[in-house]
Amino acid sequence: MHAFDVLSDPVRRRVLELLGGGEMASGEIVEAIGAEFGITQPAVAQHLKVLRESGFAKVRAEAQRRLYSVDVAGLRAVDEWVGRFRSFWEPKLDALATEIARGKRERRTRPIAARKGKRA
């Protein structure tokens, strides 16, 4: 399954958002997703399986619990795809950063009276 097919599902995106906050037990995920989306434990388990198999999540056993966390492999694939288009917006963001820095510099070098709206 292509990375964007995986991420096109709002339940899977939400699971990833939850996992972005740190490792979670499967029961915690089922509880949160079930409450938010009104889906059953088997449905959540299926979404977790898709995330695991597509490289977006990993699981480890701790006694009887299954702990899920984000796997960067899937995110790396998304980043690589998006990276092909960065050249469209990075120069604009760089120009914006330059203008912001210029404005801050001008405010710092302006006389105190002028900063307070008074004439120098």
Residue 41 forms part of a structural domain: yes
Statement to judge: residues 95 and 120 lie in one domain: yes
Structure tokens at 84: 């092909």
Q: pLDDT, tens digit, for every residue of 41-90?
A: 999 999 999 999 999 999 999 999 999 999 999 999 899 998 888 888 78
Q: How many domains does the chain have?
A: 2
Q: Who has greater pLDDT, 110 or 61?
A: 61
Q: What is the pLDDT of residues 3-50, one digit of tens each?
A: 999 999 999 999 999 999 999 999 999 999 999 999 999 999 999 999
Assigned domain for 80 exists: no
CA distance 70 to 65: 17
pTM of structure:
0.72
> Are 89 and 118 in a shared domain?
yes
